[in-house]
C-alpha cells in the first residue's frame, strides 16, 4: 500500500519532536553505524546504480536528461569513499544543537538565553546525485532534524537502496526514533510536499535552474538553495600565467557539471599573457565562447565564455550583473585589487587565487552539505550543520512580571554574561 504523503509528513513531524533533544552520543552512534553499513553494502549499492545508469543512457539518447545529469548520477569508488568519509566526519563534528549563542541578565534572577535548535522537518527535492541521500541524512541526524527526500526518477534504484541501508542501520541503534529519514518518489508527492506548510519547515532543492524556479514559485514554505551556478574567474593584469591557467583549468574541467564549475572567464585587457592563457585552456579541451549573446548560461560541460574587460571595476560590474551569487574568483598579485573584488562582488563565495571548485561543504570541513545557498537570510554558501539549525529564546525568572518594569518598581540591567 502506497502511503499518503500527509501521513508521511505527520510521521516526520513527530520524529522531529523526538529527535530534537536526542543525545550527541546516540546521534554519533547512528552516523557511524550508517557509515559501516554503507561500506558493507557498497556492492549492492553499485549494482543498483548500474541499473540506473543503463536506464539513464536511454534518457540521454532521447534528450530527457543531459549528459551532465548522467555524469552526476554515476557512483564510483571515489564518490563512495567520500560519501562514507563524509558521514564519519559529520559524526566527529561538534553537535550544533543546544549551543548558547547569547546569555543576558535582564534583572536579578531573570536570565535570557539564545540557544541553537533544529529547524524541524526538511523537504529535500534533488536530481541525479544519489550521494545526496547520505549527505543530507547525516546532516539531518546530527542537527536533530527529520527529513523527507524526493530524488529524481533517473536515480530511483540507487536512492531506494541507499535509504534502505541507512534505515536498516538506524533500526539497530538503541533509542533512535523511527521515521527520521523518509523518502517519496512520485511527482504528486512533490506537489503535496510544496503545499505541506503545516508539517514541513524548510524546502531545499538540489537540481537545475528550472527545478528551483518551479519550487520557489509553487510553495509558501521557505526555500533554501540556488537557482544556477554562474561562476566567474577574473584574471587581473598582474596575474601569474601559470597560476591563472592552472586555476581556470581546474575550475572548468575537474567536474564540469558541478554548480561551482566556472562558466565565464574575464581577462583584463592589459594582461600580457592573455593569448597564452587562452591557448592553454584549449589544450585542455576547453571550448571557448567569445562574447556570447547570453552571459547567464550554465554550460555544465567543457565550454567557457570569455571576455576582455578594461578594469577591475568592469569585471565586478559584469559579475554582479550576470552572476548568480554563487562563487566568483580573482587571480591577481595585487592585494588591494583582491580585497576590493572580495568586498564588492555580491556572492556567497568570493575567492582570491583559488579554484571555484572549493565551494563545497566537504572541502570547507562541514563534513558534507545539503546544498549551496545564494540566499541572504539564515544560511549562505555551502550549508552544513549550522545552516540546519535555528535558535530559540529561553527566559528563566522567579515570578517576574512586566508591570513592575512598566510602573518603575524594577529596572532592566541588560548585562551580558559569559
Q: What is the DSSP letter of 143?
A: T
Q: What is the DSSP letter of 379?
A: -
CA distance 381 to 369: 10
Report whether pLDDT(99) > 70.
yes
Residue 412: is it exposed, middle or buried by C-beta count within 10 angstroms (0-12/13-18/19+)? exposed
What is the grid cell recorded at 350? 568570493
pLDDT digits (tens, 9 = 90+) for 2-61: 579 999 999 999 999 999 999 999 999 999 999 999 999 999 999 999 999 999 998 888
pLDDT digits (tens, 9 = 90+) for 386-418: 999 999 999 999 999 999 999 999 999 999 998
pLDDT digits (tens, 9 = 90+) for 195-233: 999 999 999 998 777 888 899 999 999 999 887 899 999
pLDDT digits (tens, 9 = 90+) for 256-268: 988 999 999 999 9
**Percent above pLDDT 70 for the chain:** 100
Q: What is the mean pLDDT of the chain?
A: 94
At CA 325, angle to CA 226 and CA 365, rounded to 5?
70
Q: What are phi and psi of 396, to 5 degrees?
A: -120, 125
Report whether pLDDT(111) > 60.
yes
pLDDT confidence of residue 132: 87
CA dist list (Å): 21 to 25, 86, 144, 175, 202: 11, 23, 7, 12, 19
The CB-side HSE value for 344 (13 A sphere, CA atoms) comes to 16
Residue 389 three-state SS: strand
pLDDT confidence of residue 1: 47
pLDDT digits (tens, 9 = 90+) for 368-389: 888 899 988 889 999 999 999 9
- Using alpha carbons, select from 54, 84, 101, 255 the residue that is nearest to residue 165: 84
pLDDT digits (tens, 9 = 90+) for 238-259: 999 999 999 999 999 999 988 9
Query: pTM, whole model, 2 decimals?
Result: 0.86
pLDDT digits (tens, 9 = 90+) for 131-167: 889 999 999 999 999 999 999 888 999 999 999 999 9
CA 87, 91, 97, 98: dihedral to nearest 10 degrees? 180
Domains of the chain: 5-207+385-392 (3.40.605.10), 231-358 (3.40.309.10)
pLDDT confidence of residue 302: 96
Amino acid at each position: 500500500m502506497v502511503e499518503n504523503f500527509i501521513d508521511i509528513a505527520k510521521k516526520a513531524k513527530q520524529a522531529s519532536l523526538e529527535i530534537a533533544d536526542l543525545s550527541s552520543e546516540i546521534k554519533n552512534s547512528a552516523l557511524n553505524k550508517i557509515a559501516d553499513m554503507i561500506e558493507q553494502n557498497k556492492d549492492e549499492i553499485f549494482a543498483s546504480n548500474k541499473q540506473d545508469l543503463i536506464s539513464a543512457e536511454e534518457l540521454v539518447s532521447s534528450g530527457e536528461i543531459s549528459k551532465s545529469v548522467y555524469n552526476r548520477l554515476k557512483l564510483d569508488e571515489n564518490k563512495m569513499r567520500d560519501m562514507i568519509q563524509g558521514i564519519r566526519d559529520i559524526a566527529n563534528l561538534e553537535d550544533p544543537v543546544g549551543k548558547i549563542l547569547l546569555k543576558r541578565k535582564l534583572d536579578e534572577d531573570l536570565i535570557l538565553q539564545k540557544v541553537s535548535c533544529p529547524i524541524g522537518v526538511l523537504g529535500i527535492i534533488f536530481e541525479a546525485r544519489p550521494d545526496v541521500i547520505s549527505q543530507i541524512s547525516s546532516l539531518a541526524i546530527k542537527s536533530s532534524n527529520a527529513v523527507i527526500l524526493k530524488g529524481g526518477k533517473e536515480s530511483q534504484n540507487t536512492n531506494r537502496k541507499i535509504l534502505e541501508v541507512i534505515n536498516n542501520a538506524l533500526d539497530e541503534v538503541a533509542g533512535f526514533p523511527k521515521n527520521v529519514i523518509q523518502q517519496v518518489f512520485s511527482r504528486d508527492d512533490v506537489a503535496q510536499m510544496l503545499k505541506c506548510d503545516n508539517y514541513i519547515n524548510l524546502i531545499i532543492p538540489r537540481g537545475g535552474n528550472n527545478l528551483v524556479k518551479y519550487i520557489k514559485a509553487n510553495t509558501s514554505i521557505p526555500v533554501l538553495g540556488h537557482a544556477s551556478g554562474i561562476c566567474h574567474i577574473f584574471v587581473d593584469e598582474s596575474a601569474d600565467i601559470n597560476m591563472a591557467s592552472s586555476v581556470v583549468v581546474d575550475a572548468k574541467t575537474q567536474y564540469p557539471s558541478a554548480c561551482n564549475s566556472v562558466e565565464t572567464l574575464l581577462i583584463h585587457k592589459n594582461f600580457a599573457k592573455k593569448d597564452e592563457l587562452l591557448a592553454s585552456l584549449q589544450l585542455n579541451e576547453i571550448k571557448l565562447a567569445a562574447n556570447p549573446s547570453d552571459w547567464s548560461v550554465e554550460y555544465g560541460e567543457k565550454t567557457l565564455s570569455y571576455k576582455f574587460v578594461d578594469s577591475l571595476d568592469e569585471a565586478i560590474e559584469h559579475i554582479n550583473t550576470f552572476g548568480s551569487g554563487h562563487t566568483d574568483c580573482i587571480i591577481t598579485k595585487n592585494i588591494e585589487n583582491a580585497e576590493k573584488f572580495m568586498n564588492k562582488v555580491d556572492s556567497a563565495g568570493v575567492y582570491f587565487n583559488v579554484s571555484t571548485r572549493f565551494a563545497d561543504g566537504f572541502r570547507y570541513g562541514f563534513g558534507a552539505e545539503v546544498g549551496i545557498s545564494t540566499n541572504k537570510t539564515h544560511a549562505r554558501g555551502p550549508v552544513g550543520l549550522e545552516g540546519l539549525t535555528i535558535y530559540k529564546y529561553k527566559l528563566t525568572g522567579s515570578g517576574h512580571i512586566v508591570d513592575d518594569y512598566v510602573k518603575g518598581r524594577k529596572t532592566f540591567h541588560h548585562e551580558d554574561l559569559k
